[in-house]
């Protein structure tokens, strides 16, 4: 199995190439390869609505969530729609499941008909410091890895949002604490939030990072604020100043446990059940993401070998890593056979398979045994 330093990458023309990844997330230890006159790189980051998504073609060894393509690989006329189509092809995603933002600070999706300036030294995605954002539907990305616990752990502090979390009784020890003398102070990386950057998206990121199990989560600009911010309020997380940008003035996030002074009796049973189900789903998705990352699959950027199912086969519901198929279904793969395990509770079986995409763009294993 190739290492991170030699995994297949995309050269921008749709063909996999094998090259060393930069050791520095800012690309400062290795020079950017020179391009032909008139072409440039287009940098982009991948996200689901809940957080960062690992690229199939990472360009840095310590930041697998940013990638780039060559501008000349985008079909003319070079519009937002043609760029989106090529990015989806590069990342093995279905077009209907993706949205493209001009930058991380944008609040609106790019209109597909907009003509983009993709030549020269300026324009959308011209720098890894100001990349475009490709946001993917969560179901379409269920096989991808979302690594909140290790994301940019050695990144500069200027990319952090500082916060404290409070339950009914006061501040709690943060799971992202970085100062043993101030254990309730936590931080998340601004680059882990998908656009548009709002109070709601920041709350979701903190809820996942802290594994909060309460309800009525609210975000205050700082601990001295009298009223909470609205979920729809925009946050300028890429500017010099924003709520939580300073370590000595973190944002405050409160939630209710509903377990003290009989307050639990006042809870809405339906709301409590919905919250439990939502949290259980989030935990399940994180476990699947960790399992997917542990597999360390080496996935090419394109699948050119066509497979046609000659019989029907149903995968177990508990293991979303496998395709179910009906006779006549079409799949695309790299043609490399492998053995992978099919799991359901205590049931485990090793099967011959290919890694393939179906007609919807879902990436999973397809069984080809007898």
- Write down all domains in the chain, each with its CATH number in brackets: 8-141 (3.10.20.90), 157-260 (3.10.20), 305-367 (2.30.30)
Q: Distances in Å between the alpha carbon of 114 and those of 12, 209, 306?
A: 22, 36, 34
Average pLDDT across the chain, whole number? 77
The whole-number average pLDDT for the span 146-167 is 62
Q: Are strands 41-48 and 132-136 parallel, antiparallel or unpaired?
A: parallel
The yes-or-no verdict on residue 147 having pLDDT over 60 is no
Backbone angles phi, psi at 330, to 5 degrees: -105, 135
Tens of pLDDT, residues 316-343: 666 778 888 888 899 988 888 888 888 7
Are 305 and 332 in contact by the 8 Å Cβ rule? The answer is yes
Are 103 and 133 in contact by the 8 Å Cβ rule? The answer is yes
Most confident of 2-16, 61-75, 309-323: 61-75
Tell me what pLDDT residue 351 has: 87
Percent above pLDDT 70 for the chain: 75
How far, in whole angstroms, is CA 206 from its chain's centroid? 15
pLDDT band for 124, please (50, 70, 90 cuts).
very high
Tens of pLDDT, residues 340-364: 888 776 778 888 888 888 887 788 8
pLDDT band for 11, please (50, 70, 90 cuts).
very low
Secondary structure (3-state) at 236: coil
More confident position, 85 or 33: 85
The yes-or-no verdict on residue 101 having pLDDT over 90 is yes
How far apart are the C-alpha atoms of 172 and 122, rounded to whole Å?
45
Residues 6+ apart with CB under 8 A from 13: 70, 72, 73
How far apart are the C-alpha atoms of 347 and 247, rounded to whole Å?
49
> Which sign does the torsion angle of CA 346, 347, 353, 359 carry?
negative
Tell me what pLDDT residue 290 has: 58
Which residue has 């799971």 as its token pair?
A: 175
């Amino acid at each position: 199995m190739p290492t991170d330093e030699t995994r297949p990458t995309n050269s921008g023309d749709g063909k996999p190439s094998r090259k060393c990844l930069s050791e520095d997330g800012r690309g400062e230890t290795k020079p950017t390869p020179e391009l032909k006159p008139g072409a440039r790189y287009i940098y982009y980051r991948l996200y689901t609505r809940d957080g960062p998504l690992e690229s199939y073609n990472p360009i840095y060894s310590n930041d697998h969530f940013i990638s780039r393509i060559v501008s000349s690989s985008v079909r003319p006329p070079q519009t937002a729609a043609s760029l989106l189509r090529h990015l989806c092809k590069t990342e093995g995603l279905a077009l209907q499941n993706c949205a493209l933002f001009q930058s991380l600070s944008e609040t609106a999706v790019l209109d597909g008909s907009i003509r983009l300036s993709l030549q020269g030294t300026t324009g959308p995605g011209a720098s890894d410091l100001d990349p475009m954002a490709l946001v993917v539907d969560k179901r379409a990305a269920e096989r991808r890895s979302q690594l909140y616990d290790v994301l940019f752990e050695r990144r500069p502090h200027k990319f952090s949002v500082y916060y404290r979390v409070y339950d009914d009784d006061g501040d709690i020890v943060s799971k992202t604490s970085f100062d043993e003398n101030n254990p309730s102070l936590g931080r998340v990386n601004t680059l882990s939030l998908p656009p548009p950057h709002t109070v709601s998206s920041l709350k979701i990121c903190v809820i996942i990072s802290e594994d909060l199990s309460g309800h009525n989560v609210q975000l205050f600009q700082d601990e001295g604020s009298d009223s909470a911010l609205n979920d729809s309020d925009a946050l300028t997380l890429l500017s010099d100043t924003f709520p939580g940008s300073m370590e000595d003035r973190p944002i405050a996030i409160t939630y209710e446990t509903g377990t003290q002074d009989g307050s639990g009796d006042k809870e809405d049973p339906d709301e409590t059940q919905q919250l439990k189900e939502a949290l259980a789903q989030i935990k399940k998705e994180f476990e699947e993401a960790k399992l997917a990352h542990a597999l360390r699959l080496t996935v090419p950027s394109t699948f050119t070998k066509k497979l046609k199912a000659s019989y029907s086969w149903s995968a177990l519901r508990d293991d979303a890593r496998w395709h179910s198929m009906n006779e006549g279904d079409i799949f695309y793969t790299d043609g490399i056979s492998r053995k992978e395990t099919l799991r359901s509770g205590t049931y485990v079986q090793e099967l011959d398979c290919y890694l393939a995409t179906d007609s919807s763009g879902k990436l999973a294993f397809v069984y080809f045994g007898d």
